[in-house]
Amino acid sequence: MACTFSDAELRFTNTGVRIRVYDIQYRETSGQYKFAQVRVHREAGEFVDSLLSAVEPVEVWMDGKRLFRMAADAESVSLGPNTSKRATIGLRDPRVVLERGTIDLLIEEITLREVVELYILPTIRTVDTEGVIQGVKYTDSEVDDTMTVAYDSWAKKIARRVLPRQSEFALPEWWELLATPTATKEIKEAQVNAAEEIFRWSLGAAEWALGLRNRKGGFDVEGATPAEAIQAVADTFEIETWVDDDGYLWFGHSQFSAQPIIVGEQGGDLVMSDYSVITEKSPVTQVKVEGRYRIFEIPFTGIGSDYFRVRSHSVWNGKGNGKSLFLSPKNVKSIGEVEMIAQSALLQRLIRSKQGTIAINGTQTAPWSDLTAHDVSLGDHIYVIPNESECGPDVPAGVFAVQGLTHEINPTVGWSLRINVGKLVDPSLIETTSLITSPEIDGWVDAEEFYEATNGRYAGE
């Protein structure tokens, strides 16, 4: 793919205005607002400055494809000194439109879907008069029975990239074919381990991610902006929020709406130019959460309306001797909710336990691939083809989740894409146990045994 900078442009979707771009810098990180800066001709900047009065959606296009969708407003344009021939336009995360208006969330019990669609979405439609936010989506809607099929296809895709002369592999034959003929035993084992990690993740993630929209929580938020309310929702349910390039506000975990991408120094979907990933020496391997919920009317039992207290303990792959994190969420409604908070919190910490940067040459792509640097998004899964180097450090095989993106596009550097990655975590390897007590219970008892003994009557909603 040739890098033709004359094809780079801004497209203001509401007015139809198009502006040629000289260079582009874009940064997106999980859990933060994304930001972009583009330089244009001064006269174009003056025109855009006169055009913008409210927050408006704007898209950056490159080589005939949309690179990303952002927002611009009256403060976006910087003209600089009068002698300057260039102007700078700062593009902001679409969620900036949610920093106006107020919303109250004084709710003792509500599902994620209800709080989003009954409270947050109507407020968005009131304050977002320019259509910056197109709607909402949840990552559990993307996780279904097709996930295993998709990852079966990915397995074959990996095998074909590593052995391009081979065209088809029927599972499970590809396990033995996932290495170049000249690969060492260590490289082959690393590739097979990475491939196994893919399958463990796909099988564990489907069950773990389903039901997100129906999880319950409580809120005590008053006079907040929609953006602050959304952050409260994310904190309560231990999830992420972001806006995709179609303008949809997502709730959930970005790695559950992912696509597989293979990178390597000499092969793959994208060409890797640098690799720097480190593993945390003392990662968090367990999360302990204590919450309480209330059952108001329990006839014929002798148990009143006092609070039940729950202690949930999530441990990664049996490694309960690692660093611990302690949480005390408010307004939880069930044993299951306390457990899910513990699991979600541990998942996020594990992702960050192995992280780093993979650099991509955006002007190159494999002839067999339909993916380019345009297509990489937060949460995507990166499979790194291992490589033994004679003049530098070896690159091990690995599977990662995309946690951040930095695009730099200009005539000097060409197109550089730096991908911040984190560990791809199999949720099924997170083990959770819980204890429960109340004034009517003598001490702490195993929550599962209590649930079975009471037929689930006091598990909460």
Are 112 and 138 contacting, i.e. CB atoms less than 8 angstroms apart? yes
- Report how far residue 157's alpha carbon sits from residue 151's, in angstroms, rounded to the nearest whole number: 9
- What confidence category does residue 454 fall into, taking pLDDT thresholds of 50, 70 and 90? confident
pLDDT at 5: 54
Residues 134 and 223 in one domain: yes
Q: Is 404:314 a contact under the CB 8 Å cutoff?
A: no
H-run or E-run covering 231: helix 226-237
**For the domain that residue 75 is a member of, what is the CATH number?**
2.30.300.10
Q: Indicate whether 45 belongs to any domain.
A: yes
Cis previous bond, 172, omega within 30:
yes
On whether both 136 and 216 belong to a single domain, the answer is yes
Residue 391 has pLDDT above 70, yes or no: no
Q: What is the pLDDT of residue 156?
A: 53
Q: Are residues 13 and 64 in the same domain?
A: yes
Which of 254, 275, 308 lies at the terminal end of a domain, its last residue? Answer: 254
Do both 61 and 33 map to the same domain? yes
Neighbouring residues of 68: CB distance < 8 A, sequence distance ≥ 6:
26, 28, 34, 36, 59, 60, 245, 407
What value does the mean pLDDT take over residues 159-165? Answer: 46
Per-residue confidence band for 299, with pLDDT thresholds at 50, 70 and 90: very low
Q: Using only the alpha carbons of the chain, give its radius of gyration.
A: 25
Burial of 445 (0-12, 13-18, 19+ CB in 10 A): middle
DSSP secondary structure string, 271-315?
A: EEEEEEEEE-SS-EEEEEEEEEEE----TTSS--SPEEEEEEEEE
Q: Residues 230, 241: contact at Cβ < 8 Å?
A: yes
Q: Closest Cα to residue 213, out of 294, 112, 145, 357?
A: 112
Average pLDDT of the chain, as a whole number? 80
Long-range Cβ contact pairs of 453-457 (< 8 A, separation 24 or more): 457/298, 457/301
Asked if the structure places residue 401 within a domain, the reply is no
Q: Is residue 149 part of a domain?
A: no
CA distance 28 to 115: 26
Q: What is the mean pLDDT of residues 18-42?
A: 92
Q: Which residues pair with 68 in a beta bridge?
A: 60
Mean pLDDT for the stretch of residues 225-230: 94
pLDDT at 95 over 50: yes
Average pLDDT of the segment spanning 37-63: 91
Task: Note whether 17 and 130 are same-domain residues.
Answer: no
- Residue 16 sits in the same domain as residue 84: yes
Asked if pLDDT for residue 303 goes beyond 60, the answer is: no
CATH number for the domain that contains residue 107: 3.55.50.10
For residue 316, is pLDDT > 60? yes
Across the strands, what pairs with 224?
103
Number of domains observed in the structure of the chain? 2
- CA–CA gap between residue 11 and residue 160 (Å, rounded): 38
CA distance 264 to 162: 10
59 and 137 fall within a common domain: no
Q: What is the pLDDT of residue 157?
A: 55
Report the pLDDT value the prediction gives residue 280, as an integer from 0 to 100.
Answer: 87
Residue 206, SS3 per DSSP: helix
Give yes or no: residues 32 and 83 share one domain: yes
Residue 171 in this model has a pLDDT that exceeds 50: no
Q: Looking at the DSSP assignment, which residues form a beta bridge with residue 103?
A: 224
Please indicate whether residue 205 or residue 79 has the higher confidence score (pLDDT): 79
Answer whether residue 445 shows pLDDT above 70. yes
What average pLDDT does this structure show over 42-53?
Answer: 91
Q: Note whether residue 126 is domain-resident.
A: yes
Mean pLDDT lowest among 8-12, 123-127, 330-334, 435-439: 330-334
Confidence band (pLDDT; 50, 70, 90) for 21? Answer: very high
Structure tokens at 432: 């959770």
Instruction: Check residue 406 and give its pLDDT.
Output: 94
pLDDT number for residue 311? 93
Do the domain assignments include residue 241? yes
Q: Using CA atoms, how far apart are residues 141 and 117, in angstroms rounded to an integer?
A: 15
Amino acid of residue 266: Q
Question: Taking residues 365-386, what's their average pLDDT?
Answer: 77
Residue 153 confidence (pLDDT) above 50 = yes
> What's the confidence (pLDDT) of residue 255?
73
pLDDT of 275 higher than 60 = yes
Is residue 226 one of the residues assigned to a domain? yes
Six-digit token pair at 249? 């506000």
Query: pLDDT at residue 119 above 60?
Result: yes
Residues 120 and 218 in one domain: yes
Range of the domain at 114: 98-142+211-254
Q: Residues 144, 212: contact at Cβ < 8 Å?
A: no
Question: Is a pLDDT exceeding 50 seen at residue 1?
Answer: no
Question: Which of 254, 282, 310 is the C-terminal boundary of a domain?
Answer: 254
Q: What is the pLDDT of residue 290?
A: 93
Q: Is residue 122 located within the same domain as residue 247?
A: yes
Which of 201, 224, 254 delimits the end of a domain?
254
Q: Is residue 29 part of a domain?
A: yes
Residues 11 and 134 in one domain: no
**How far from 285 is each of 195, 400, 434, 446, CA to CA, in Å?**
23, 18, 17, 22
* Residue 11 shares a structural domain with residue 124: no
- For residue 118, what are the CA distances in angstroms to 123, 236, 282, 447? 9, 17, 42, 33
Has residue 410 been placed in a domain? Answer: no
Query: Would the pLDDT of 181 be above 80?
Result: no
315, two tokens: 């441990």
- Tally the residues of the chain: 461
Cα distances (angstroms) measured from residue 380 to each of 125, 258, 402, 405: 29, 4, 5, 11
